């Protein structure tokens, strides 16, 4: 009975929204909200093909967290005031998504999130945020295969192709290969809107500007927002796997505020040079699971087990 309670508690933990992580200080404090992506060991979406770039995506062998929203211009501004160097974000303002950021600049922002909170930098980015050096095999991320872009001890990172796709399209129904075609929990294309949080909507189809990151349409089954529409998003992954060439084109997904829902299809990926700076491409951040939450849940389960054993003596 206790084991069932603990398992149920851990399942609830993976489905719940994790508290916002805090960065900066004083007037330059900003937060990033994360949701837990559970169902570790789920299978790839083998049915998301149809294009020349078809390959199955979405299988992830570990639990992780995904940013609820795209990173905003305000977060970049406050990180810069708190010590982030050589990163600029233009085109949009305030709570609108950061744009005109190269892959290297997005990676440098992620490194700031790590180092400013006492964690290992995820990427070996040069001082000017214009180039990447690969990690050695001994230092590189090894879960689900060797990833020479990401350090094995990174706490925050850009989402890989599989991490991004799972958070957007997996049905959140266990260790399955069950996926929706769109990141709004549907096989029907989202209704295009200029802004809002209505279920089944996305910011797309020629809107004047992207919406604020927290008004970017309906939610995915894991409760992320804006993975369809609003901004195209950098992925950590090279367009052609594996991540073993520092200058190779990177993958992007999601569609944007100024194009139709055609570009949100699961078979569509963009190939972008990592030095590209575009007003319709932004990013979100992923992270390892929150250790304090996991340990609290496990500790509660162990305490229940201990009490039951004492009661039976």
Whether residue 296 is predicted with pLDDT greater than 70 in this model: the reply is no
Indicate the pLDDT class of residue 91, thresholds 50, 70 and 90: confident
Find the mean pLDDT for residues 108-114.
Answer: 98
Residue 105 structural domain: 2-311
The more confident residue out of 299 and 126 is 126
Indicate the pLDDT class of residue 276, thresholds 50, 70 and 90: very high
Whether residue 214 is predicted with pLDDT greater than 60 in this model: the reply is yes
| Helix, strand or coil, per DSSP, at residue 4 | helix
**Which structure tokens are listed for 8?**
């149920």
Whole-number mean pLDDT of the chain? 87
Residue 244, Cβ density class (10 Å: 0-12 exposed, 13-18 middle, ≥19 buried): middle
Give backbone dihedrals phi and psi of 40, rounded to 5 degrees, phi first. -60, 140
Q: Summarize pLDDT for 49-74 with one digit per residue, the tens.
A: 444 445 589 999 999 999 999 999 99
Find the mean pLDDT for residues 15-26.
Answer: 80
Whether residue 14 is predicted with pLDDT greater than 50 in this model: the reply is no
**Which structure tokens are listed for 125?**
């980015």
68-78 core/surface letters (b: 16 or more CB in 10 A; e: else): bbbbbbbbbbb
Helix (H) or strand (E) holding 157: strand 156-157
Q: Kindly calculate the radius of gyration of the chain based on its CA atoms and give it in whole angstroms.
A: 19
- pLDDT value of residue 19: 78
First to last CA, the chain: 17
Whether residue 97 is predicted with pLDDT greater than 50 in this model: the reply is yes
Q: Summarize pLDDT for 145-192 with one digit per residue, the tens.
A: 999 999 999 999 999 999 999 999 999 999 999 999 999 999 999 999
Whether residue 85 is predicted with pLDDT greater than 90 in this model: the reply is yes
Whether residue 86 is predicted with pLDDT greater than 90 in this model: the reply is yes
Residues sharing a CB contact under 8 Å with residue 235, sequence separation 6 or more, in sequence order: 158, 159, 160, 161, 164, 250, 251, 252, 253
- Number of domains composing the chain: 1
Neighbouring-strand partners of residue 120? 154
**Which structure tokens are listed for 80?**
């810069």
pTM higher than the cut 0.75: yes
The enclosing domain of 307 has a CATH number of: 3.90.1580.10
Residues sharing a CB contact under 8 Å with residue 210, sequence separation 6 or more, in sequence order: 92, 96, 97, 99, 203, 216, 230, 231, 256, 257, 280
């Amino acid at each position: 009975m206790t084991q069932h309670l603990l398992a149920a508690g851990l399942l609830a933990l993976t489905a719940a929204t994790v508290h916002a992580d805090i960065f900066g200080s004083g007037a330059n404090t900003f937060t990033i909200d994360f949701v837990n992506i559970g169902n570790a060991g789920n299978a790839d979406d083998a049915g998301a093909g149809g294009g020349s770039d078809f390959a199955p995506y979405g299988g992830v062998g570990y639990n992780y967290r995904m940013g609820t929203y795209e990173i905003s211009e305000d977060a970049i501004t406050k990180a810069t005031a708190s010590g982030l160097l050589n990163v600029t974000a233009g085109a949009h303002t305030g709570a609108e998504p950061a744009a005109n950021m190269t892959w290297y600049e997005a990676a440098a922002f992620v490194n700031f999130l790590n180092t400013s909170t006492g964690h290992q930098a995820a990427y070996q980015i040069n001082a000017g945020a214009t180039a990447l050096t690969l990690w050695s095999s001994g230092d590189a991320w090894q879960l689900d295969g060797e990833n020479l872009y990401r350090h094995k001890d990174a706490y925050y990172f850009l989402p890989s192709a599989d991490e991004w796709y799972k958070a957007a399209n997996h049905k959140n129904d266990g260790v399955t290969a069950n996926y929706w075609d769109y990141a709004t929990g549907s096989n029907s294309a989202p209704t295009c809107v200029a802004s809002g949080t209505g279920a089944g909507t996305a910011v797309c189809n020629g809107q004047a500007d992207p919406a604020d990151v927290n008004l970017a349409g309906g939610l995915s089954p894991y409760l992320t927002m804006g993975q369809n529409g609003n901004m195209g998003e950098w992925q950590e992954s090279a367009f052609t796997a594996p991540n073993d060439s520092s200058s190779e084109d990177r993958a992007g997904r999601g569609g944007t505020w100024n194009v139709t829902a055609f570009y949100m299809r699961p078979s569509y990926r963009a190939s972008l040079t990592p030095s590209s700076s575009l007003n319709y491409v932004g990013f979100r951040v992923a992270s390892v699971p929150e250790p304090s939450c996991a340990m609290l849940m496990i500790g509660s389960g162990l305490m229940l087990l201990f009490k039951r054993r004492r009661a039976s003596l």
